[in-house]
Structure 1
């Protein structure tokens, strides 16, 4: 069979995804809308069905381990869910134990940002580096950090909540309840809110016309910017300013060789890269001004690949 096979799951508030992974590459993938109302027991059934789909025609004995990337905060040392705001009813759910029992395979549970960081470190844009920061900019902002050639976990495996440091003493209220967090300013949700306000202020503009039939989200800003709409381009420049400020803080904190950006908003990275780097050059201390920001090489698969690779690394220990 060549490279050992493992399964990576990604648990999200919208979708549950699964991938059959070998050698850092996705062989097969499948997804289904998360049965939020059905609670954890129903979602475990979805994991089972997705695994059957991606492993069709394969002897399950070839599957070495199971890894799941899940939103936090969660205690990855025990594998017990602490609290997932988008998934009510999961508090204190023994996720690792249930999946290990379900699949009879060694199983790890990892924060989705840390799993994605590991995927990019071992198989993507961070391959060969000893120091990197991965930031996913999507509905919220999360991430993971590699320092001195080691994946940083911290107390209870909860390190890397890079969206929840304060970049302003006031400002919008964050999903965590604090005010002025990086996430509150720069997440895709925040960009979508600013776009909605722009659409309301100019009903005849690109965003205003879209708002007549759709809910305005960050994707509309990117679409409009690619059509050279001035309002959308201005919104992306503002987004790049916020990202640059947050990224500069992370660069100062962790001194990475590279900062890797993933998530839905990263699809507009080519439109924001120059502005993001200009903010870093403006704000960073001299030794940090040249740290490059790059887009995630694995795209949406980095969490799936990372979770699957971490699971195999737990069975066949390598550098973590």
Structure 2
């Protein structure tokens, strides 16, 4: 008798929303079909146990309707994936030492697994997306933050205490936009907030020269600049916006060169902002990689946008269930 289809549940726990997902695998080579998804607001004013009880009201009925084999939990770090404990994520105040895996296994009598969101997304892209078929792949988040999930020799690599892949914390310059509380980091230049910071610097200089860009006419509008507004302006040919993306691409290239030199991957998959605006970054990124990365390592590594799109969070949580 075939083992398939198999049913899995996923919990995607974030600082704004928490989602419960039900997925089905019809074969070992198929991707997840999402059968159910329901999200609720994350209420940090209540204890974690209260939020988990609310998620149980969505999760419990699924176990009555389907033979769910396992549960996957994706959550921002820090966490301890081996013990299944959420430690103290900055976007989840009060979630200190939450033994979520123990709670789920006791309540539902199935295996449960926990991973940080970058690792979960990396595993999902490797298993079902742009990294499929590779042995050594890096997935880079490029959204609110900038981190990496590492697939090395065909396995997820999380490090000694789940902190591997924190490329966003690496300092590229002594001065520059701040990320992780440090000036000039990868996250400071290449996250959504970092790109906006670069945009403000360039816009302010243009205004002072008497040539304000289309996306920011006055100093009073500087705080309204976002990565999205910069992308739209660049796509419409705004010279200042194009220079911003060229600058960001240069620092993204430096970050990619570090990953290429240290880990020698065959593919780097970049999500979120790169998946939407990669054409604005690619030329300066590739030029920097050519000048800074080891030539033979760079030759065997391709850099591509993520494929799972807006559903990556759902697929990531489900993917943790099959780790």
Note the C-alpha offset of 1:2.
Answer: 4.2
Query: For residues 159-190 of structure 1, what are the alpha-carbon distances to aligned partners after superposition, in whole Å with 9 as ceiling and x for unaligned?
Result: 22222222234434432x34433212211111
In the alignment, which of 176, 184, 192 is matched to residue 196 of structure 2?
A: 192
Note the C-alpha offset of 1:123.
Answer: 0.8
Cα pair 1:31 1:50 within 8 Å, conserved: no
In the alignment, structure 1 residue 305 sits paired with structure 2 residue 315: yes
In the alignment, structure 1 residue 222 sits paired with structure 2 residue 231: yes
1:285–1:29 CA distance, 2 compared to 1 (3 A): same
Note the 1:51-70 alignment, pairs <5 A: 51=59, 55=62, 59-70=64-75
* Bigger Cα Rg: 2
Query: For residues 205-248 of structure 1, what are the alpha-carbon distances to aligned partners after superposition, in whole Å with 9 as ceiling and x for unaligned?
Result: 33225975983321111122222222222211111111111011
Cα pair 1:116 1:304 within 8 Å, conserved: no
**Partner of residue 13, structure 1:** 15
Cα pair 1:144 1:162 within 8 Å, conserved: no
**Partner of residue 28, structure 2:** none
Task: Please give the alpha-carbon distance, in whole angstroms, between the structure 2 residues aligned to 1:255 and 1:266.
Answer: 22
Q: What's the secondary structure of 1:208's corresponding residue? A: coil
**For structure 1, which runs of at least 5 residues remain unmatched after alignment?**
314-320
1:289–1:32 CA distance, 2 compared to 1 (3 A): same
Cα pair 2:135 2:151 within 8 Å, conserved: yes
Task: Please give the alpha-carbon distance, in whole angstroms, between the structure 1 residues aligned to 2:235 and 2:148.
Answer: 27
1:213–1:249 CA distance, 2 compared to 1 (3 A): closer
1:44–1:125 CA distance, 2 compared to 1 (3 A): same
**Partner of residue 260, structure 1:** 269
Note the C-alpha offset of 1:73.
Answer: 1.9
In the alignment, which of 242, 246, 249 is matched to residue 237 of structure 1?
A: 246
In the alignment, which of 223, 242, 249 is matched to residue 258 of structure 2?
A: 249
Cα pair 1:69 1:304 within 8 Å, conserved: no
Cα pair 1:164 1:181 within 8 Å, conserved: yes
1:161–1:47 CA distance, 2 compared to 1 (3 A): farther
**For structure 2, which runs of at least 5 residues remain unmatched after alignment?**
26-30
**Partner of residue 172, structure 2:** 167
In the alignment, structure 1 residue 25 sits paired with structure 2 residue 13: no
Cα pair 2:274 2:305 within 8 Å, conserved: no
Task: Please give the alpha-carbon distance, in whole angstroms, between the structure 1 residues aligned to 2:297 and 2:10.
Answer: 35
**Partner of residue 51, structure 2:** 43
Q: What's the secondary structure of 1:31's corresponding residue? A: strand
Task: Please give the alpha-carbon distance, in whole angstroms, between the structure 1 residues aligned to 2:232 and 2:178.
Answer: 27
Q: What is the aligned-residue RMSD (CA, Å)? A: 2.7
TM-score (norm 1): 0.86
**Bigger relative contact order, structure 1 or 2 (CA pairs below 8 A, ≥6 apart):** 1
**Partner of residue 91, structure 1:** 96
Cα pair 1:170 1:179 within 8 Å, conserved: yes
Note the C-alpha offset of 1:294.
Answer: 0.3
In the alignment, structure 1 residue 82 sits paired with structure 2 residue 87: yes
**Partner of residue 136, structure 1:** 141
Note the C-alpha offset of 1:71.
Answer: 0.9
Cα pair 1:44 1:99 within 8 Å, conserved: no
1:208–1:70 CA distance, 2 compared to 1 (3 A): same
Note the C-alpha offset of 1:3.
Answer: 2.4
